């Protein structure tokens, strides 16, 4: 059944996320950012994501100079702790780690130093301020691309300063930036603005990656609601997503 038939059916079936295979945006390492607060919390979150059909999770703790001064060493240590807990609980999910880099001046300096946390060999997840455009985003993108990396912009639907400049999203794609939309945005979880822009990005075939951006157990219930959202069905049927290649 195509998305249009589903849209006009009396009740949509739950979308099947298993075809995605991989989630590349979450906060599952306890105690190092605003995500999981304990190993038990991490295990329960990962169990919930597995039950949606995910087979591989690339968790991405924040690296942000003012708040979360995480390093690869801190993140990899936490990763091993969570992996050990998953082994004990016999939860069969492949867990890897990268980072969600906040686009500030410290990040630009870290690009010059190297030792960046990427995923699938060549991708790097970058987020922007919710209040104002990051003035160095273009220079950061250029530097990363010169190093052979592909920038994945986290939740572009959540940056309100672009809501009336939709061509900005098209321009980013033309410059080789991939767009990662949050699953919860389709439910209106972050507000009507993000929901509207997420739907418009889907309508214009501008979404490359669907991410959960999992932080806490209440998100699992939000994701359950998202499974019946018409635009999620349309996105999954679009053939545009590259999650399964990551």
Q: What is the pLDDT of residue 4?
A: 52
> How many C-beta neighbours within 10 Å does residue 192 have?
8
Ranges of each domain in the chain: 17-245
Distances in Å between the Cα of 106 and the Cα atoms of 36, 136, 196, 201 are 25, 11, 32, 30
Q: Longest Cα pair distance anywhere in the chain, in angstroms?
A: 55
Walk along the chain (246 residues) and give the pLDDT tens digit of each residue.
Answer: 454 544 544 568 999 999 999 999 999 999 999 999 999 999 999 999 999 999 999 999 999 988 899 999 999 999 999 999 999 999 999 999 999 999 999 999 999 898 899 999 999 999 999 999 999 999 999 999 999 999 999 999 999 999 999 999 999 999 999 999 999 999 999 999 999 999 999 999 999 999 999 999 999 999 999 999 999 999 999 999 999 999
pLDDT for residue 66:
82
Q: Are 57 and 28 in contact (CB under 8 A)?
A: yes
pTM above the 0.75 mark? yes
| pLDDT at residue 12 in the model | 80
Query: What is the pLDDT at residue 1?
Result: 44
What is the Cα–Cα distance from 45 to 37, expressed in whole angstroms?
11
Write the class of the CATH domain 17-245: alpha beta
Our CA angle for 42, 46, 51, nearest 5°, is 150
List, in order, residues 6 or more apart from 140 with CB less than 8 Å away.
103, 107, 108, 111, 126, 134, 151
Look at residue 114 in the predicted model and tell me its pLDDT: 87
> 115 near 124, Cβ under 8 Å?
no
> Contact at 8 Å (CB) between 153 and 201?
no
């Amino acid at each position: 059944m195509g998305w249009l038939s589903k849209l006009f059916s009396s009740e949509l079936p739950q979308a099947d996320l298993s075809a995605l295979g991989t989630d590349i945006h979450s906060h599952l390492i306890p105690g190092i950012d605003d995500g999981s607060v304990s190993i038990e919390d991490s295990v329960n979150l990962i169990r919930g994501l597995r039950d949606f059909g995910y087979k591989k999770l690339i968790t991405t703790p924040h690296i942000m100079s003012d708040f979360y001064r995480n390093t690869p060493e801190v993140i990899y240590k936490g990763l091993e702790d969570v992996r050990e807990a998953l082994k004990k609980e016999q939860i069969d999910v492949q867990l890897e780690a990268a980072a969600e880099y906040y686009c500030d001046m410290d990040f630009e300096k870290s690009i010059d130093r190297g030792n960046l946390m990427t995923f699938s060999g060549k991708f790097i997840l970058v987020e922007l301020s919710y209040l104002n455009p990051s003035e160095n985003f273009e220079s950061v993108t250029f530097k990363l691309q010169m190093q052979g990396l592909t920038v994945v912009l986290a939740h572009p639907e959540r940056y309100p300063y672009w809501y009336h400049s939709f061509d900005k999203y098209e321009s980013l794609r033309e410059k080789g930036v991939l767009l990662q939309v949050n699953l919860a945005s389709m439910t209106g979880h972050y507000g009507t603005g993000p929901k509207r822009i997420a739907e418009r990005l889907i309508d214009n075939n501008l979404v490359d990656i669907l991410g959960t951006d999992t932080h806490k157990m209440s998100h699992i219930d939000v994701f359950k609601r998202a499974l019946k959202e018409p635009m999620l069905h349309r996105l999954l049927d679009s053939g545009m997503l590259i999650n399964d290649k990551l």
